[in-house]
Amino acid sequence: MEGILDVPKPRITCGMLSQYIGRPVCFVGRVEKVHPTGKTFTVSDGEGKIATVELVCVLDEELSGVVEVVGMVSNKGAIMASTYNVLREDKGIPFDLELYAEALKVIHEFPQHYPFEVAASG
Amino acid sequence: MTKLSEGAIEALSNGTGGNDAVLQLVNIRKIDGGSGLPRFRVMMSDGLHTLSSFMLSTQLNFMAEENRLAPNCVCILKKHVTNILKDKRRVVIILEMEVIKSAEDVAGRIGEPTPYTEGKAAPVCYSISHSALILQNVNHPHQNAGSHISTNMTRFLFLKAPSAMPSTPGDNSKVVPIASLNPYQSKWTIRARVTNKSSIRTWSNSRGDGKLFSMEIVDESGEIRVTGFNQEVDKFFSLVEVGKVYYVSKGSLKIANKQYTSVKNDYEMTLNGESSIIPCEDDCDVPVMQCDFVSIGDLENREKDAIVDVIGVCKSVDEVTRLTTKSNREVSKRTLNLMDMSGKLVTVTLWGEEAEKFEASGQPIVAIKGAKLSDFGGRSLSASFSSTLMINPDIPEAYKLRGWYDKEGHAMDGQSLTEVKGSGGGLTNWKTLSDVKTEHLGHGDKADYYTCIATIVYLRKENCLYQACPSQECNKKVVDQHNGMFRCEKCDKEFPNFKYRLILSANIADYADNQWVTCFQESAEAILGQNAAYLGQLKDSNEAAFDEVFQQANFNTFVFRSRVKLETYNDESRIKATVMDVKPVDHKDYSKRLIMNIRKLAAQ
């Protein structure tokens, strides 16, 4: 789990989940529904598609709004979250999820200009 | 060989008969008629004579178009009406005709007919076609012949020989196109519609007083500007109405002074004592307006101060405001936003009566001829006194726009070419710092304005503050009299105090280049995050804190709205850039713009 923090984690949308199975990714989306057990919840991306996030530890607080999840993509296309952080809506400029999705499209369309494989220095 | 009704031509010409005449068609000619319908002129022969003043009524056009009426075919003239023109000539309108022998079945010309003349000198041909041009309303379903049709006939509008014209046969109805007018020919008549008429303007100078009015007239071939002075103003000003068609003749032509007009013609006309303007009733040929519309999206590519014609949907309009000009005149002003199919929006300013009278309801289609393009706020348009404003004009472009707008346009926000005062929406003219050099901004006569996103990389804290005159409006540097008083040369007064003002020299950079700029009070305070008075205090009392302010301010990124101009100082010319406004970066807006630029580049 600690290993995931040193590795480049491409930002993806739901549509790209299947291409990143078994790889660490960073996913930003809006919390849709939290499962009663608190171990899993769904998120929607900028294009409106839904993905499932599975947590190692149970949620200890009510989750809502836009959240950034870092984790591995499972065979089933769910994200096994190592860590997450909430982008607070009450502070600063509200996060524009649609614009984010647009930007991601550009990044993935031109990988030659946006290389993910930059080695972390020292 | 089919027998033709000899003598029929004479009878038809005299109006004494010709019913059921068997005639041979000698020639058929298509003429462009009014209201879009073509007219066909035929020359018929009765074996003895030929007569060319036959016109096919429009309900028989199909016969000509289906090539049934080919030269040499023989026909029976079943129904006709003869009409007498003002100048005594006759035209025979063929209402019903049957081809009894098609052209292929006829060997050739039957007999040796000669043209029938009634003793009038000029051959009837050319002039009649003009009168025939005006034949309207022939296409009535002629269920009941005879009287029904004859009453319709009286509605034909024929060429009225303008009385002022010399009555040379064949000459008085000769209309020439505006495009053919030149200073070397004086005997001409044009038929045109007035598209624009100015009000009477008077002047008074050392040489005396005078008055003038001008108008623009248009016909199928082009347009021309017409001016009348003094006596001609009295003669013609009240006679001429915008939108109506007139015969104009004997004006003097000279090379156009393009400075005053956007009319596309090398020449312009001046009315003189011999000129005449006569109303024309038939105006369906003459176009309503000659406009060369520029797409709003294209306006960015046009030079400022250009005169253009535009058409668009009035998306929004502001209230009328009143301004006082430098000459202390009060004038009304109103701005409206026009959008067209390019998706771009431009702000148009109306003045005076036009501003007050403008009816904004329902997002009308607005067309402006001769609007002036300015670079105010990027790109904007102004309707000057010589522009013509049309609301919901009856032209195809207007309908196209209406259709587009109803389908898609109304949902679009449109990208404005005109910078809106205040934050956010509509900031235009984004440049990178290298663009400023490569595009030689500021090298022209006027200063150039542009917007850029850049990071501060150096702030010069030495000499950033100066002592200024404490008077409200005055910012001039005061001279320290060293007696506790400070003198302002501009106000010509001495003061016991001063106010600190900022002139900050900074170097800003983006990925492309860097640039030295000067920021005055407001922008400097925004960058440093402190007001000038406080900074002045700090400088005098706490150097370390003063330095700290500059440290903190360094490497911040802002949106700069700058003005750049080439200035010459002692034989040396340098580009000087001044920051007019500093704003924090709107990341959303910036991202959107970047994405748009990326997509644009990718598409190339």
Q: Do A103 and B592 touch (CB under 8 A)?
A: no
Q: How confident is the model at residue B556 (pLDDT cuts 50, 70, 90)?
A: very high
Q: Do B598 and A93 touch (CB under 8 A)?
A: no
Residue range A47-69: mean pLDDT, rounded: 87
| C-alpha distances in Å from residue B217, one per residue of A13, B221, B274, B476, B550 | 63, 11, 19, 55, 65
B535 min Cα distance to partner chain A (Å): 28
The more confidently predicted of residues B424 and B563 is B563
Q: How confident is the model at residue B558 (pLDDT cuts 50, 70, 90)?
A: very high
- Encoding tokens for residue B507? 């170097």
Residue range B38-66: mean pLDDT, rounded: 86
Give the nearest partner residue to B588 out of A99, A106, A109, using CB atoms.
A99
Length of chain B: 604
Which of B590, B595, B597 best probes binding to A when mutated, by most A CB atoms within 10 angstroms?
A: B595
Question: Rounded to an integer, what distance in angstroms lies between the CA atom of residue B310 and that of residue B300?
Answer: 13
Give the nearest partner residue to A99 out of B592, B599, B602, using CB atoms.
B592
Which secondary-structure segment (H or E) carries B506?
A: strand B499-509
Q: Do B602 and A96 touch (CB under 8 A)?
A: no
Please, what is the average pLDDT of chain A?
85
Residue range B488-496: mean pLDDT, rounded: 86
Structure confidence at residue B285 (pLDDT): 63
Q: Do A106 and B591 touch (CB under 8 A)?
A: no
Question: Rounded to an integer, what distance in angstroms lies between the CA atom of residue B261 and that of residue B270?
Answer: 14
**A102 and A67 Cβ atoms separated by less than 8 Å:** no
* Residue B128 neighbours by CB under 8 Å, 6+ apart: B41, B52, B53, B85, B89, B91
Which region among B267-271, B366-370, B427-431 has the lowest average model confidence (pLDDT)?
B427-431
Structure confidence at residue B259 (pLDDT): 66
Using a CB-CB distance cutoff of 8 angstroms, which residues of chain B are in contact with residue A104? none
Q: Scanning every residue of chain B, which has its alpha carbon at the shortest distance from the alpha carbon of A94?
A: B588
Count CA atoms within 13 Å of residue B575 on its CB side. 20
Distance of CA B23 to the CA centre of its chain: 52
Report yes or no: B596 at the A interface, CB cutoff 8 Å.
no
% of chain B at pLDDT higher than 90 = 6
Using a CB-CB distance cutoff of 8 angstroms, which residues of chain B are in contact with residue A96? 588, 591
Which region among A14-23, B288-297, B567-576 has the lowest average model confidence (pLDDT)?
B288-297
Question: Rounded to an integer, what distance in angstroms lies between the CA atom of residue B304 and that of residue B529?
Answer: 37
Q: Scanning every residue of chain B, which has its alpha carbon at the shortest distance from the alpha carbon of A103?
A: B595
pLDDT tens per residue, range B403-418? 888 877 776 666 666 6
Q: Scanning every residue of chain A, which has its alpha carbon at the shortest distance from the alpha carbon of B586?
A: A93
- State pTM to two decimals: 0.44
Which of A97, A102, A105, A107 best probes binding to B when mutated, by most B CB atoms within 10 angstroms?
A: A102
- In a 10 Å sphere around its CB, with 0-12 CB exposed, 13-18 middle and 19+ buried, how is residue A18 labelled? exposed
Residue range B306-331: mean pLDDT, rounded: 78
Residue range B219-231: mean pLDDT, rounded: 86
The more confidently predicted of residues B128 and B316 is B316
- Encoding tokens for residue B189? 């008549």
| C-alpha distances in Å from residue A72, one per residue of A10, B359, B413 | 11, 62, 41
Q: How confident is the model at residue B283 (pLDDT cuts 50, 70, 90)?
A: low
Residue range B78-93: mean pLDDT, rounded: 79
Structure confidence at residue B361 (pLDDT): 73
Report yes or no: B597 at the A interface, CB cutoff 8 Å.
no
Which region among A35-39, B163-167, B376-380 has the lowest average model confidence (pLDDT)?
B163-167
CA-based nearest residue to B267, from B252, B251, B249, B255: B255
Q: Is 90 exceeded by the pLDDT of residue B159?
A: no
The one-character DSSP state at A17 is G
B positions 140-159 inside 8 Å of A (CB):
none
Q: Do B587 and A93 touch (CB under 8 A)?
A: yes
Rg (CA), chain B: 37
Q: How confident is the model at residue B14 (pLDDT cuts 50, 70, 90)?
A: confident
Structure confidence at residue B162 (pLDDT): 36
Using a CB-CB distance cutoff of 8 angstroms, which residues of chain A are in contact with residue B584? none
Question: Rounded to an integer, what distance in angstroms lies between the CA atom of residue B390 and that of residue B546?
Answer: 61
Q: Do A99 and B598 touch (CB under 8 A)?
A: no
Using a CB-CB distance cutoff of 8 angstroms, which residues of chain A are in contact with residue B591? 96, 99, 102-103
Please, what is the average pLDDT of chain B?
78
Strand-strand pairing, B252-255 and B267-271: antiparallel
Q: Do A106 and B587 touch (CB under 8 A)?
A: no
B296 min Cα distance to partner chain A (Å): 27
Q: Scanning every residue of chain A, which has its alpha carbon at the shortest distance from the alpha carbon of B599?
A: A106
A103 min Cα distance to partner chain B (Å): 7
Give the nearest partner residue to A93 out of B588, B592, B599, using CB atoms.
B588
Q: Do A110 and B595 touch (CB under 8 A)?
A: no
Using a CB-CB distance cutoff of 8 angstroms, which residues of chain A are in contact with residue B588? 93, 96, 99
Using a CB-CB distance cutoff of 8 angstroms, which residues of chain A are in contact with residue B595? 99, 102-103, 106
Rg (CA), chain A: 14
Q: Is 80 exceeded by the pLDDT of residue A14?
A: yes
* Residue B211 neighbours by CB under 8 Å, 6+ apart: B200, B201, B202, B203, B229, B230, B233
Which region among B174-183, B204-213, B290-299, B484-493 has the lowest average model confidence (pLDDT)?
B290-299
* Residue B387 neighbours by CB under 8 Å, 6+ apart: B368, B369, B370, B371, B372
Report yes or no: B591 at the A interface, CB cutoff 8 Å.
yes
First-residue to last-residue Cα distance in chain A: 20
